[in-house]
Amino acid sequence: MTRPRTLYEKIWDAHVVEQRPDGTCLIFIDRHLVHEVTSPQAFAGLRASGRTVRRPDLTLAVPDHNLPTTARKDAAGNRLPIADMESAAQLAALETNAPDFGIRYIDATAAEQGIVHVVGPEQGFSLPGTTIVCGDSHTACHGGIGALAFGIGTSEVEHVLATQTLLLQPAKTMEVRVEGEVGPGVTAKDIILHITGTIGAAGGTGHVIEYTGSTIRALSVEGRLTVSNMAIEGGARAGLIAPDATTIAYLKGRPYAPKGADWDAAVAYWTSLATDPGATYDKTVVIDAADIAPSVTWGTSPEDVVPITGTVPAPDSFADPSKQAAAAKSLAYMGLEPGTRMQDVRIENIFIGSCTNSRIEDLRAAAAVLKGRHKAANVKWAIVVPGSGLVKAQAEAEGLDRIFTDAGLEWREPGCSACLGMNPDKVPAGERCASTSNRNFVGRQGPGSRTHLVSPAMAAAAAVTGRLTDVRELID
Amino acid sequence: MAPIEKVEGRAIPFGLKNVDTDVIIPAKWLKTISREGLGKGAFETLRADPNNLFDQPEYRQAPILIAGDNFGCGSSREHAAWALGDLGIRVVIAPSYSDIFSGNAVKNGILPVVLPQSAIDRLMEVAATDPIHVDLDTQTVTTPFQDRFTFDIDPFRKMCLLNGLDEISLTEKSDAAIAAHEQMIAKTQPWLTPTLA
């Protein structure tokens, strides 16, 4: 009998092309997602060295990061130009590079366009048991369907384009087991914020995290994508959730998913991937779902998490002196005083979107809170940015767009938007944003912006009251 | 990529923990389609303060940066490594790095040295007044005051850095093994190759 293996070890073993004497492995990459920001230098490198793309059929390109989320076509259906010259140049580079190298390309105005990490699973391009890379750290997202997926730098993008492989050291394994039923108002986002607060921003460094336990099993695929998306915020390069009946039902019939007899063979394989009984992890953290409240960040690291019922911590409440210094800096940047109740923090901006929280279930959760309500007067800017054109169409078919616009929120075109301050959607300096994105770093949503990470339902609640709010007060 | 063996010079005693790549290079600098010239944007937010460390005369063009735990966390942007390189940094010394950042650093001829916090504390002290010497071949960091710290590094990374090697050319030598893997997949898991129905 073979040694019991974890999900990670099974996927790793199936992709080793060559093992070097020092333990470094040449790993085959099944899927490569490409966007406009981290690829131009890689394509330029290929051209300079006269190389081609080894497997264009395993590569899919879509622009997302710096596309404006305002209308992309005029009334006559003509494409509108991008005002920012540098963004326009990056988009133009991808539009040239994709056909030049024979890569499938989803155009900025196509119905299927969207955030690369929304598009991959939605199209069935991302599959369980595969290795998936993209020049973006939130590639960890695809671990939600059981793929070993991680972000890479531009040199690695070039390496994968040229060779369809990467040279990697095996990671250590970490299990984060969440058991029990979550309370009302607690979503996948609250689960991953709570996990990040518990393990810390470097808690998973050098590890691949597998999320296990009844709480994770009970999540939809979209919820699992939200959890795995933020594996990187805990320092892990990748997250994983074992594929199961929920995953298989989600993937069936998607455009790139296997069909017919291939489908049956794929399902049989995916079902064999779960961690074997008796397999061990290098590290295990156990979390009781009953301890997870609707959560919010107070600082400038994603580990700075408190329950919405909590208060801003004092820097000297941390044992580690360097954390004390970091917390003091964070509070100065965030303009917060220790002891302030999180629910008393006023909010001027609302962002519902990003690869973490822009899928249809996220929009439904936000709409459920906003239905029949209106944003508070002090909320100056509130936008809802669907993760893809298909999510947008689905939301419109369900009338969600009307709920948002009736509540005073703007309904936008798909893209990365205000998650990362590299397109026109930015939070003004000194102002706060209740944001469903994944990072609250200094200047992340624009220079001087102050980000509070929350779930879509919590962002909607903050829109209604104009302050960080316990969503449980607004739901039955 | 320029080979790296010995680096001696001033070290910027930065020391902060959880320095993310948005701090190293803000997103607005990601709109370039070139790898050059990003030093201007390196640590831009911190350098808005005229008293910032990076622009003090003694640390200008310093080849070494000393940082705290989890340096380079966050975004995968290789622009962070390009920006550091353009600023003149050849070595970063920290207790730990984000996995993606340390990979990007090595691919751009920047050596990420891992040393325990106690050694970092001592080097921060020395860096305030004196140069630091880093030797990749012997895997040591030394100071003019007889301090000597040894560090571990993955042998493959060491070899690439010492020789300034291009990883793609190395991998291309494994072409037959890659082709064999592709043929095995085509035979045993044909569904892995995506087709639109």
pLDDT digits (tens, 9 = 90+) for A178-212: 999 999 999 999 999 999 999 999 999 999 999 99
Q: Are B152 and B139 in contact (CB under 8 A)?
A: yes
Q: How many CB atoms lie within 10 A of CB B135?
A: 14
Where does A376-449 show beta strands of DSSP type E? 381-384, 410-411, 432-435
Helices marked H in B25-174 = 44-47, 79-87, 99-107, 117-127, 155-163, 167-172
Q: Which domains does chain A have, with CATH numbers?
A: 7-168 (3.30.499.10), 296-473 (3.30.499.10)
d(CA B100, CA B5): 22
Distance from CA of A157 to the nearest CA of B (A): 10
E runs forming strands in chain B = 6-9, 11-13, 64-66, 91-94, 111-114, 132-135, 140-142, 148-150
Q: Examine residue B187 and state whether it is found in any structural domain, yes or no.
A: no
Taking CB atoms and an 8 Å limit, are B73 and A235 in contact across chains? Answer: yes
Task: Identify the CA nearest to B174 among candidates A44, A33, A27.
Answer: A27
Q: Is B171 part of any domain?
A: no
Q: How far apart are CA B92 and CA B87, in angstroms?
A: 12
- Name the H helices within A164-294: 188-199, 214-217, 221-229, 245-251, 260-271
Does the beta-carbon distance from B22 to A443 stay under 8 Å? yes
Contact A452, A463 (CB under 8 A): no
| Rounded distance between C-alpha atoms, residue A309 and residue A289, angstroms | 17
Rg over CA atoms, chain B: 19
B32 in A contact zone (CB under 8 Å): yes
Q: What is the ipTM of this complex?
A: 0.94
Residues pairing with A208 in the sheet: A173, A238
Q: Which residues of A touch B154 (CB under 8 A)?
A: 22, 24, 169
Rounded to whole angstroms, how far apart are CA atoms B56 and B162?
A: 30
Which of B45, B73, B118, B167 to probe the A interface (max A CBs under 10 A)? B73
In whole angstroms, give the CA distance from residue A353 to residue A412. Answer: 10
Q: Is A16 left (phi over 0), alpha (psi -120 to 50) or beta?
A: beta
Q: Is A433 assigned a ligand-binding role in the annotation? A: no
Tell me if B179 is assigned to some domain.
Answer: no
Cβ A205–B70 below 8 Å, yes or no?
Answer: yes
Task: List, for residues A230-279, the tens digit of each pLDDT value.
Answer: 999 999 999 999 999 999 999 999 999 999 999 999 999 999 999 999 99
Structural contact between residues B104 and B74, judged by C-beta atoms closer than 8 angstroms: no
Instruction: List, in sequence order, the alpha helices (H) in B42-138.
Output: 44-47, 79-87, 99-107, 117-127
Verify whether the Cβ–Cβ distance B33 to A125 is below 8 Å.
no
- For residue A373, which phi and psi values (nearest 5 degrees)? -120, 175
CA distances from A461 to A18, A333, B176 (A): 52, 24, 57
Q: What is the full per-residue pLDDT of chain A (476 aa) written as tens digits?
A: 589 999 999 999 999 999 988 889 999 999 999 999 999 999 999 999 999 999 999 999 999 999 999 999 999 999 999 999 999 999 999 999 999 999 999 999 999 999 999 999 999 999 999 999 999 999 999 999 999 999 999 999 999 999 999 999 999 999 999 999 999 999 999 999 999 999 999 999 999 999 999 999 999 999 999 999 999 999 999 999 999 999 999 999 999 999 999 999 999 999 999 999 999 999 999 999 999 999 999 999 999 999 999 999 999 999 998 899 999 999 999 999 999 999 999 999 999 999 999 999 999 999 999 999 999 999 999 999 999 999 999 999 999 999 999 999 999 999 999 999 889 999 999 999 999 999 999 999 999 999 999 999 999 999 999 999 999 999 87
pLDDT > 90 in chain B, percent: 94
Q: 3-state class of A12 per DSSP?
A: helix
Q: Closest to B100 (Cβ–Cβ): which among A90, A237, A255?
A: A237
**Annotated binding residue at A416?**
yes
A310-to-A264, A357, A469, B189 alpha-carbon distances in Å: 49, 23, 11, 51
Contact status, residue A211 vs residue A244, Cβ threshold 8 Å: no
Q: Determine the 3-state secondary structure of A274 from DSSP.
A: coil
> Per the CB < 8 Å rule, is B195 touching A256?
yes
* Phi then psi dihedrals of residue A211, to 5 deg: -90, 125
Query: B76 and A152 in contact by Cβ < 8 A?
Result: yes
Domain for residue B75, yes or no? yes
HSE value, Cβ hemisphere, 13 Å, CA-based, for B117: 8
* Interface with chain B: mutation pick from A164, A252, A322, highest number of B CBs within 10 Å: A322
Is the Cβ pair B74, A152 closer than 8 Å? no
Residue B87 lies in a domain: yes
- Identity at B57, one-letter amino acid code: P
**What does the alpha-carbon distance between residue A363 and residue A255 come to, in Å, rounded to a whole number?**
23
Contact A61, A157 (CB under 8 A): no
* Rg over CA atoms, chain A: 22
Q: Decide if B113 is inside a domain.
A: yes
* B179 Cβ contact list (under 8 Å, min separation 6): none
Burial letters B109-128, b for 16+ CB under 10 A, else e: bbbbbbbeeebbebbbebbe
> CA B121, CA B143: separation in Å to the nearest integer?
13
Domain extent for B17: 6-165
Phi, psi of A166 (to 5 degrees): -140, 150
> Looking at residue B16, which CATH number applies to its domain?
3.20.19.10
Residue B134 maps to a domain: yes
Of A30, A58, A9, nearest to A130 (Cα)? A30
Mean pLDDT, range B78-104, rounded to an integer: 96
Q: Strands across the sheet with B64-66, in order?
A: B11-13, B64-66, B91-94, B111-114
Euclidean distance between CA atoms A111 and A392, whole angstroms: 9
Tell me how far apart the alpha carbons of residues A53 and A55 are, in angstroms, rounded to a whole number.
Answer: 6
State how many domains chain B has: 1
Question: Contacts by A329-333 with C-beta closer than 8 Å and gap 24+?
Answer: A329/A300, A330/A298, A330/A299, A330/A300, A330/A301, A330/A304, A331/A298, A331/A299, A333/A300, A333/A442, A333/A450
A114: three-class secondary structure by DSSP? strand
* H-helix segments, A69-175: 85-100, 116-122, 154-163
Instruction: Return the SS3 of A468.
Output: coil
**What DSSP state is assigned to residue B190?**
G
CB A29 within 8 A of CB A164: yes
Q: Residue B61 falls within a domain, yes or no?
A: yes
Mean residue pLDDT of chain A comes to: 97
CB < 8 Å to B94, chain A: none
B30 touches chain A (CB under 8 A): yes
Give the Cα separation of A334 and A332 in Å (integer). 5
Select from A83, A43, A114, A1 the least CA-distant residue to A390.
A114
- The dihedrals phi and psi of A368, each to the nearest 5 degrees, come to -60, -35
